[in-house]
A and B are shown apart, each in its own frame.
Chain A
Amino acid sequence: MNRKLIVSPSPHAKGTDSIPSIMYGVIFSLIPVLAVAVYFFGIKALIVTLTAVVSCMVFEFLIQKFILKGKITVFDGSAIITGMLLAFNLPSSIPIWMIIVGSLVAIGVAKMSFGGLGNNPFNPALVGRVFMLISFPVEMTTWPPNRFTLVDGYSGATPLGFAKGALKSGKTVSEIMPDVADLGHIFNYFVGNMEGCIGEISALFILLGGLYLLYRRIITWHIPVSIFVTVFIFSGILHLVNPDLYISPEFHLLTGGLFLGAIYMATDMVTSPMSKKGMIIFGVGIGALTVIIRTWGAYPEGVSFAILIMNAFVPLINRYIKPRRFGKEVKHG
């Protein structure tokens, strides 16, 4: 009998996950975060997000079609994630044309110029965001009040921005803000009832998305947990040393972009380390840099910069931090 059989080396079985299944898993987990943003900021949040997603996809398509002349992978989901995460890092009042420029930088400069998905050293959405922050400083730091926080006294600034400004003008922590130990406020911060970027406000829904990503094994706990622990300990020590000068660790954790950054931006597969130990070093670095930038830097917010700086260290971390090899130390008994 002479039937044709396929011959190839093992393994002959294949897992079910693919690039699209991973990417659409992330997108799925971001939908509740988007819903919360629309709830607090209105339809504008949806418009900003759609603009960024469509721009990222169009730019990726144009570059792949006319410049690289290669395979079109616009629908693998990665450009959609870049668009969503870029939008989530913008205030809802940002002009549309600026979003388009930011998307071009994110996809064109940060992703495609390095060779597309898998080859970019820096998180594309964050590169786009930081480019916009530097190019359009006024629009990027103007915060429209959300539906509820007008009464809360912070309108026009994020909690972190407000705190930074007040501390600079010589006030003490206890003077400038209601007691953050007050449960009402912690709860507000936790669900997202405050000013901020579209996707960063609700720690609760970001956390839920993160749990889904953990369940799907798209991310591991190492990076987010090491960031949270580092920020908590570092800012906690500062706060204990001088509670009048340094804001409390809960405030650091729940306001600003830490949750979005730690769970969605720092865990970007392409730009984070490969080994578990490396991931922890990466997370500790991000946590420490975040507190340093927030406390002593020029900007009230430091997560984006911290992640981009640590992105630069990833090749070095991968080179020197190896996974624990089997059989390295002999354990007897």
Chain B
Amino acid sequence: MLKTFKIGGVHPPENKISANTPIEVLPLPETVTIPISQHIGVPSQVLVQKNDKVKVGTLIAKQNGFVSANIHSSVSGTVQKIEEVFDTSGYRRMAITIAVEGDEWEESIDRSTDLKRDYDTSTDIIQKIAEAGIVGLGGATFPAHVKLTVPQGKKAEILIINGVECEPYLTSDHRLMLERDNEIMIGTSILMKALNVSDAAIGIENNKPDAIKKLTETAKNYPGIKVVPLKVKYPQGAEKQLIKAITNREVPSGKLPIEVGAVVQNIGTAFAVYEAVVKNKPLIERVVTVTGKSLEKPSNLLVRIGTPVQKLLDYAGGIDENATKVISGGPMMGKAISNLDIPVTKGTSGIVVLSKKEGYRKEQNNCIRCARCVSVCPMGLEPYLLMAYSERQMWSEAEKDKVMDCIECGSCSFTCPSNRPLLDYVRLGKSTVGKIIRNRK
């Protein structure tokens, strides 16, 4: 019996059409636009001015407080402007636009793609990760150094590397596992050392048998790391569900994974940690899946941070008039973007193009109380009830029925036969109740 989490879950069509396409390097764009808020937490502090010359890897905005992250230039060239642009959030946020000139890197960075195992063991790994500006690359973009700093009185027991990639369409982690298996293992070993744990588990769903096989083989050379094949079920890539699947421990409501001794990092993050620690390379590029049924050439691309989405789509063959929705991230949890000038950021795991048929919502009907939203909710909540609370502004009831536990996986809205916008209303409840709780303190 393959492991999985116990409560709820759905099986959206996988549509992993780019799974067999090797990672390609996207050519440099003419300009990049690098937002200073690409992570959860405080926006970084801008260090450059208009007309400044920068190289690849130059620090252009620094970590502002503990929960924040450094941001480096992903190209060499001249700072053109520093102003607000629309980003994936749909809001206008401050960003640094750089005109690309050549491809000159900071000397300290090892640009080669050769595998290197040795690194200066005296370095403070967490410090190094913070300097490189690494955030959770699965999409949540929580600064990695914060997660690795175990709070007083708590102890990390196991490191979990998230290779689940449960979102439909996305294959960037899958390709990375196939092509950079040793780098991922070294990155994982570095993370284990930083956390002072002797066990690491890489969770991979069994719809990626090639990745399971490859990493299981590679893991033999890395003590303490094991690969755990998992039964396919969405949202297994969610942190709490993945911990449950692998360790059978449940993170208590409102608490962090460290409460049960677990720290979870994404496959892409482990790779970025390898590059940061061994190659001294900050997070300036990432693998992005560009996909959609209407695209001529669904691809997995190594993209410099700040590249406009349009460039990726052009590379994949361009979008036709049938395309109505472009998503940054996967179709279950990703954000629909309003225009194609929006840049790729650290959290952009994929760009998914949906056709007319997939892009429009269907007409909403009465709730028929089929209870499917309740049975698929991986957090054991009652989405139909939370929606009703939000509609009636019954915030204290929503709080009592655990609206804050919602992980926004979208299984409820996905499964509802009446096409009710359950998650929209649960989000409204979450944000309102969140405000009420913060004001109480």
B413 at the interface (CB under 8 A from A): yes
Given A21-B417, A325-B379: A14 and B362 within 8 A (CB)?
Answer: yes
CB distance from B350 to the nearest CB of A (A): 12
Among candidates B250, B358, B365, B367, residue contacting A326 with C-beta atoms closer than 8 Å? B250
Complex contact B325–A6 (CB within 8 A): yes
Q: Which of A15, A217, A270 has the most chain B CB within a 10 Å cutoff?
A: A15
**Which of the candidate stretches B62-70, B122-130, B380-388 sits at the interface with the other chain?**
B380-388
The answer to whether A269 touches B369 (Cβ under 8 A) is yes
Which of chain A's residues has its CB closest to B366's CB? A118
List of B residues within 8 angstroms of A115 by Cβ: 366
Residues of A within 8 A of B358 (CB): 12-13
Inter-chain CA distance A119–B324, complex, in Å, is 35
Chain B residues near A15: list those with CB within 8 A.
10, 12, 414-417
Query: Least Cβ distance of B208 to chain A in Å?
Result: 19
**B381 to A325, Cβ gap below 8 A?**
yes
Within 8 A of A (CB), among B326-380: 326-327, 329, 331-340, 352, 354, 358-362, 365-372, 374-375, 377-380
State the majority secondary structure of interface residues on A.
loop
Closest to B360 in A: A6
Expressed in whole angstroms, the minimum distance between the Cβ of A63 and any Cβ of chain B is 15
Q: Smallest distance from the beta carbon of A318 to chain B beta carbons, Å?
A: 8
Cβ of B13 to closest chain A Cβ, rounded Å = 7
Asked if A324 is at the interface of the complex by the 8 Å CB criterion, the answer is: yes
Asked if B248 CB lies within 8 Å of chain A CBs, one says: yes
**Chain B: number of interface residues, binned into ranges:** 35 or more
Tell me if A327 and B251 are in contact (CB < 8 A): yes
Check if A8 sits within 8 Å of B336, measured CB to CB.
Answer: yes
Query: Which single residue of chain A is at the shortest CB-CB distance from B333?
Result: A10
Least CB distance, A317 to chain B, in whole angstroms: 12
Kindly identify which residue among A6, A17, A323 contacts B417, using a CB–CB cutoff of 8 Å.
A17
Contacts of A273 in B (CB 8 A): 371
Contact of B382 among A117, A220, A323, A333 (CB under 8 A): A323
Residues on A with beta carbons closer than 8 Å to the beta carbon of B338: 5, 7
Flag B268-297 by CB within 8 Å of A: 1 or 0 each: 000000000000000000000000000000
Q: Determine the chain B residues whose CB is within 8 A of the CB of A9 once the complex forms.
A: 336, 421, 423-424, 427
A134 interfacial contact with B, CB 8 Å: no
**Are A13 and B331 also in contact (CB < 8 A) when A6-B325, A117-B368, A269-B369 are?**
yes
* Number of chain A residues close to chain B: CB under 8 A: 47
Answer whether residue A331 sits at the interface, using C-beta atoms and an 8 A cutoff: yes
Q: Which of B38-46, B179-187, B252-260 makes up part of the contact surface?
A: B252-260
User: In the complex, what's the smallest C-beta–C-beta distance from A327 to chain B, in angstroms?
Assistant: 4
Q: Tell me if A298 is interfacial: C-beta within 8 Å of chain B.
A: no
Do residues B90 and A7 form an inter-chain contact, with CB atoms below 8 A?
yes
Query: Which residues of A311-333 have CB atoms within 8 Å of chain B's CB atoms?
Result: 318, 322-333
Are A324 and B7 in contact (CB-based, < 8 A)?
A: yes
Task: Say yes or no: is B168 at the interface (Cβ < 8 Å to chain A).
Answer: yes
Closest to A115 in B: B366
Indicate whether B203 reaches chain A with its CB closer than 8 angstroms. no
Asked if A19 meets B249 with Cβ closer than 8 Å, knowing A1-B340, A5-B324, A5-B336, the reply is no
B: which residues have CB within 8 A of A?
7, 10, 12-13, 90, 168, 240, 244, 248-253, 255, 259-260, 310, 324-327, 329, 331-340, 352, 354, 358-362, 365-372, 374-375, 377-382, 384-385, 401-402, 405, 408-411, 413-419, 421, 423-424, 427
In the A-B complex, the 4 residue pairs with the closest CB atoms: A11-B410, A118-B366, A325-B380, A13-B331
A sample of 28 inter-chain contacts (CB < 8 A) reads A5-B325, A5-B326, A6-B359, A7-B325, A7-B337, A10-B335, A10-B410, A11-B333, A12-B334, A12-B359, A13-B12, A13-B358, A13-B414, A14-B414, A14-B419, A15-B10, A15-B12, A17-B372, A19-B417, A22-B368, A22-B370, A322-B401, A324-B7, A325-B402, A326-B250, A328-B253, A330-B249, A331-B250
